[in-house]
Amino acid sequence: MTYSDEKSGSLLNDDVNAANATIDQGQDAFLAKWTEFRFTPLRLLLFRVAWFLVPSFLQSRYMREHVRPMRLGPTAYLDGVRGVAALIVSFGHFTTPGYDTHIGWGVDGGNYQFMRLPFCRLVYSGGAAVAVFFAISGYVLSYKPIQHIRNGNWHTFSTGLSSMAFRRAIRLYLPPTISTAIIACIMQTGIFERTQAIENDRTYFNYNVPFHIQALPSASEEFTRWVDVVTGAFFPFSWDKYEPYQWYDGHLWTIPIEFRGSFYLFAVILATARLQTKYRLLTVAALMYHSYICSRWEFMLFLSGIPLVEWDHIRGAHITPSFLGEKEAAPSRSTLKTIFWHLVSALGLFLLSQPEEEGETTPGWAYLTSLIPEWWEVEQQRYWQSAGAVCFLFGVGHSPWWQQVFTSRIAQYLGKISYSIYLVHGPVHLLICMPWQKFVWDLTGVEGNAFHVGYALGVLFSIPMFIVIADIFWRAVDIPTVKFATNYEAKVSIKVN
């Protein structure tokens, strides 16, 4: 839990003191009864639970302390990018059952909807968001090690890289272990079975319907399958795409890839640590090319973080805190440079807009699709979306305007809960949002524009639901996981003077 008993008690005392200061003398009797109610052990527990269920953005003290600190780090804008990408993933999975979102604008002489256009389709393009996730991971995991290498802080480099590697498995796997355990327990209640009829109703959902989660007959069988899923996900010895989480939440297929990609990146950083910068970059370029010809787009994205970080350190990108909204004046930038980096960012966004299907017949994409090598073994959209993710982050790294967007309060909040959004949006969609969407469509109808109106009303409920439940999971599971990993490492590590 994010709030300790001591901290929660402090909040309760603050509430009582505030009440005492504002309530009239005639309300003393009511206040005494209210205080007695609140501080009865069971009632106190219920109050704490109720308070915990209040989203953190409504708990102002909590927000000031945890969501957006007064001084942001030099790469805080990447947290904002990650948060927006996580929201796009959840929005995309909400959209795809009702709409054929995989094809682009103008395919087959039709499909001229505005939201199919490049840039616009990024609002629901989960594939593009995943490419951005991997590129950000490569950058963030490379940042400190490369900084220590360049500064010659070899002791800090070795201990820091060791710490990152030790904590990585806990950080990645403990939250989905808990989330899938919760799903397994819910499955045994039969709730998921009641949503199956909704999923299969083609009156409402005609396209990419989520994989139905089928419960096993007994709790013991369910537990055995859950153990197999959790242990199977922790399998770093293969480059093959492996989706053990499909039995509980198929959207978690990226977690094992994140784990393998992280350790591949750590190995490359360690192996090239003592090389001169130019030879380190040449080695990384060769490994990126090897990943490319093997169609391993995900490893290529992880490795892309190294040259991006090297370049940012070379140009002193993070020396000035001006882009963080502080009083220091920003260095002067020519208008041409500003325009150039906006164009680079726009190019990245365009490449991220590659449609998942029928790119060869999509206006504006036919030529680019023809450039994809025949030996490219994975989904075609991974090709240009991967290039777009790197290009976009490269442009954002040079653009104070973009960095201000992603260091805004909303973007930073989404960044804090981004992993939780990713973990909970699948089951929340199945359990809550799809039934709600059907209910709305039953009211509005599904013919013509009524279908779109019903969808919009569903969005107004579902996206806040994703965020609220992710906020709870963040405080209940994600934050304690980070603390546990840090404390456990400190407990078992050798103390070095």
Q: What is the pLDDT of residues 352-395, one digit of tens each?
A: 999 999 989 999 999 999 999 999 988 889 999 999 999 999 99
Is pLDDT at 28 greater than 70 in this prediction?
Answer: no
Residue 47 lies in a domain: no
- Across the range 220-237, mean pLDDT stands at 89
Q: Which contacts of 473-476 are long-range, i.e. CB under 8 A and separated by 24 or more positions? A: 473/175, 473/179, 473/420, 473/423, 473/424, 474/2, 474/56, 474/416, 474/417, 474/419, 474/420, 475/1, 475/2, 475/3, 475/52, 475/56, 476/1, 476/2, 476/52
Q: How far apart are the first and last CA of the chain?
A: 33
Residue 162 lies in a domain: yes
Residue 71 lies in a domain: no
The residues that bridge with 220 in the sheet, in sequence order, are none
**Mean per-residue pLDDT of the chain:** 86
Q: What pLDDT, on the 0 to 100 scale, is given for residue 11?
A: 39
Task: Report CA-CA distances (Å) from 290 to 40, 284, 286, 300, 382.
Answer: 65, 10, 6, 9, 16
Residue 411 lies in a domain: yes
Among the ranges given (6-10, 242-246, 370-374), the one the predictor scored with the smallest mean pLDDT:
6-10
> How large a percentage of the chain has pLDDT more than 70?
85
**Residue-number span of the structural domain to which 163 is assigned:** 88-489
Among the ranges given (130-139, 273-282, 310-319, 476-485), the one the predictor scored with the smallest mean pLDDT:
310-319
For 199-214, what is each residue's pLDDT tens digit?
777 788 877 777 667 8
- In this prediction, residue 468 has a pLDDT band, given cuts at 50, 70 and 90, of very high
Is pLDDT at 123 greater than 60 in this prediction?
Answer: yes
Is pLDDT at 262 greater than 90 in this prediction?
Answer: yes
Q: What pLDDT, on the 0 to 100 scale, is given for residue 195?
A: 81
Residue 2 lies in a domain: no
Residue 49 lies in a domain: no
Q: What pLDDT, on the 0 to 100 scale, is given for residue 30?
A: 55
Q: How many domains does the chain have?
A: 1
3-state secondary structure of 232: helix
Q: What pLDDT, on the 0 to 100 scale, is given for residue 69?
A: 62
Q: What pLDDT, on the 0 to 100 scale, is given for residue 327?
A: 44
Q: What angle in degrees, to the nearest 10, is found between the helix axes of 418-428 and 409-416?
A: 70
State the amino acid at position 66 in one-letter form: H
Residue 73 lies in a domain: no
- In this prediction, residue 33 has a pLDDT band, given cuts at 50, 70 and 90, of low
Is pLDDT at 18 greater than 70 in this prediction?
Answer: no
Is pLDDT at 480 greater than 80 in this prediction?
Answer: yes
Residue 336 lies in a domain: yes
- Across the range 283-293, mean pLDDT stands at 97
Q: Is 439 exposed, middle or buried (0-12, 13-18, 19+ CB in 10 A)?
A: middle
Is pLDDT at 300 greater than 70 in this prediction?
Answer: yes
- In this prediction, residue 27 has a pLDDT band, given cuts at 50, 70 and 90, of low
More confident position, 46 or 348: 348
Residue recorded with tokens 């930073």: 412
Sign of CA dihedral 445, 449, 454, 457: negative
Among the ranges given (251-260, 270-279, 330-339), the one the predictor scored with the smallest mean pLDDT:
330-339
